[in-house]
Amino acid sequence: MPQSNTAQLLKIPQVTKITGLSRSTIYRLIKDGEFPGPIRITRRRVAWRQDDIQSWFDSIGA
């Protein structure tokens, strides 16, 4: 079955709340290749795919 193009997108406040990580920790982990990177929504806004965050949780055993 094909995946829907309406994947849930999360903004940084939602990602920090869900993960329990601070904004600076999230960006440090992205830089280190240990956390999924965001996708650009507009020139100044980014968001994360909920599926990417879930996969990250699964990979760390959370």
What does the pLDDT look like over 27-62, one tens digit per residue?
A: 999 999 999 999 999 999 999 999 999 999 999 886
How many distinct structural domains can be found in the chain? 1
Indicate whether 4 belongs to any domain: no
Indicate whether 22 belongs to any domain: yes
Indicate whether 38 belongs to any domain: yes
Whether the predicted pLDDT of 17 surpasses 90:
yes
CB 48 within 8 A of CB 38: yes
Indicate whether 46 belongs to any domain: yes
Q: Give the span between the Cα atoms of 9 and 3, in whole angstroms.
A: 15
Indicate whether 36 belongs to any domain: yes
Q: Give the span between the Cα atoms of 26 and 12, in whole angstroms.
A: 9
Task: Count Cβ atoms below 10 Å from residue 47 Cβ, excluding itself.
Answer: 17
Rg (CA), the chain: 12
Mean pLDDT of 20-25: 97
The per-residue pLDDT for 7 is 74
Q: What CATH number did the domain enclosing 30 receive?
A: 1.10.238
The per-residue pLDDT for 23 is 97
Mean pLDDT of 3-24: 88
Indicate whether 17 belongs to any domain: yes
Read off the pTM: 0.82
Indicate whether 1 belongs to any domain: no
- Supply the range of the domain harboring residue 33: 9-60
